Structure 1
Amino acid sequence: MLTHIREPARVGDPGLVRARCRGRRTATGRADPALTAGLPAVVAHPAGLPYPPAFNASAAPQAERRIAEAFGAASALGGLQRLRGAVEAPRALRDHGFDEADIDDAVHAILDVVPAKNPCPVTPDSLRRLLRAARQGADPLTTDGQES
């Protein structure tokens, strides 16, 4: 029985979401960076999903092609975007309480769990750009945090 699963927090109450999610762990026992930042996975993961593949696509072309083929799309990002639209997934983390002030804490939490063999080197600055773009719901291909 899964006794650790709680009733979901109300999406419109960021304070409650943060309080309930701080310190939660992934299945591997590591702190989930999205939850550490105070967002429930059901919001953070779909909103942030297209940014890492867009970031890594040029350094991992074979993986990008396999993902694109799995989606029946011209690109992995195109397939992910189509899926996000079909399920009406969250687009902007800011709409769910992720503030600009949360970015540095999220950078530190995420850097601790970035795989050593990530196709592209992940730096604090590149991660800040990616998180800023995800916060604003910007085009994942830009990852410069410009409004979309």
Structure 2
Amino acid sequence: MSMSFEHTTLGQRVLFGTGQAAEHLTAELDRLGATRPMVIAGELERALAEQATAKITPALWWDEVIQHVPVEVAERARAAAARESVDVVVSVGGGSTTGLAKAIALTTGLPVIAVPTTYAGSEATDVWGLTEDRTKTTGTDPNVLPATVVYDAELSKTLPVGLSVASGLNGMAHCVDSLWAPRTDPINQALALEGARALARSLRGIVADADDMDAREQALYGCYLAAVSFAGAGSGLHHKICHVLGGTFDLPHAQTHATVLPYVLELNAPAVPELAGRLATALGGEPSTDDAAGAAVAALRELYDAVQAPSRLADYGFTTDGIGEAVGRIVAAAPASNPVPVTKQNITGLLCAALTGDRATVTV
């Protein structure tokens, strides 16, 4: 079979090393010629940020970090950066922290150095997101791609097991969505499948032993591959659903992605059996020539059971009252290239099932 596709690889420097965050961050500031860093870290991440920045002197500390990046928070952070003549933004934390750094870079062009403490993956994409009037808007811009990512598994050790699982499954959602997202190609799919394999292995390891540093390193490796694949493939149906649930209903980012993922896979996998079979194998499941889609769903469900994954949107504040509005917003935003046509009926069924954790088959 002949291949024909166009692929863009984003230019970014990655420094990976357990226990080396402070050393790597110092070297990167020197390389960029930056002397007035703004360090973004929420209150809960302050100790980790101080560890990562132990060898530098921040010009500004910023701790107002809110999920889904409200526009007004971004504007306050941008103004503070301007007042302090900041010349680089250093984010230490999860996706919300990285997202705020990107929002600053979007309008200022300041370089970003991302130091992730979770498995969100935002650090490896050129995607930004801002929320205003209960609507989350996303886009891509080369200015927001962090110039450097500093990965240090030591900084993820204090992440509780439950949050590690939710965050890692957020990364898994990047992998699965990238298999059929609008710009996907064989390179994105290969990265996504290897990312899925690494995340499945690492999450089991973290659940078995939260201090397993090999598992923590594998999780960072997997989330990076997941994000790179997602950056290339674009935003698929899963992310459109979760952006609505997060931006409009203020549901927590990682837990929402983790909860919704099996239902999106169940909806789409029958239409892409070859990819579903490869995903089943990556997740450690038994491949099936008769029912590749079923094998992929079963492998993901088995992983979810093993790591006690989030399973009900109701646990995070979503109710039946929100389904009608959510369905309308999702259908309007869904990519036309989704493997299965997106309808009010199948999205309603998907959300109803995800609300309660019902494992009945999602209606196509």
TM-score by length of 2: 0.33
Gaps of 5+ in 2: 1-38, 41-61, 68-133, 142-234, 287-294
Aligned equivalent of 2:244, options 2, 27, 33: 33
Q: Which residue of 2 aligns with 1:45?
A: 257
**What do residues 81-130 of structure 1 show as CA deviations (whole Å, max 9, x unaligned)?**
12222332211111221100111111122223322111111101110011
Q: Which residue of 2 aligns with 1:6?
A: 66
Separation (CA, whole Å) in 2 of partners of 1:87 and 1:34: 23
Asked if 1:92 corresponds to 2:92, the answer is: no
Distance 1:131 1:85, change over 3 A: same
Q: How many residues align?
A: 132
Distance 1:87 1:26, change over 3 A: farther
Q: Which residue of 1 aligns with 2:361?
A: 142
Kept in 2: contact 1:68–1:77 (CA 8 A)? yes
Separation (CA, whole Å) in 1 of partners of 2:345 and 2:250: 21
Distance 1:143 1:83, change over 3 A: same
Asked if 1:103 corresponds to 2:323, the answer is: yes
TM-score by length of 1: 0.74
Distance 1:86 1:121, change over 3 A: same
Separation (CA, whole Å) in 2 of partners of 1:81 and 1:28: 32
Q: Which residue of 1 aligns with 2:268?
A: 56
Aligned equivalent of 1:131, options 351, 361, 364: 351
Kept in 2: contact 1:132–1:143 (CA 8 A)? no
Q: Which residue of 1 aligns with 2:340?
A: 120
Larger Rg: 2
Aligned CA RMSD, in angstroms, stands at 2.9
Kept in 1: contact 2:312–2:355 (CA 8 A)? yes
Separation (CA, whole Å) in 2 of partners of 1:89 and 1:25: 28
Distance 1:24 1:86, change over 3 A: farther
Distance 1:27 1:85, change over 3 A: farther
The share of aligned pairs that are identical, in percent, is 36
Distance 1:28 1:78, change over 3 A: farther
Gaps of 5+ in 1: 8-21
More strand by share: 2
Distance 1:40 1:27, change over 3 A: farther
**What do residues 16-66 of structure 1 show as CA deviations (whole Å, max 9, x unaligned)?**
xxxxxx444556499812212331112211111100111112111111111
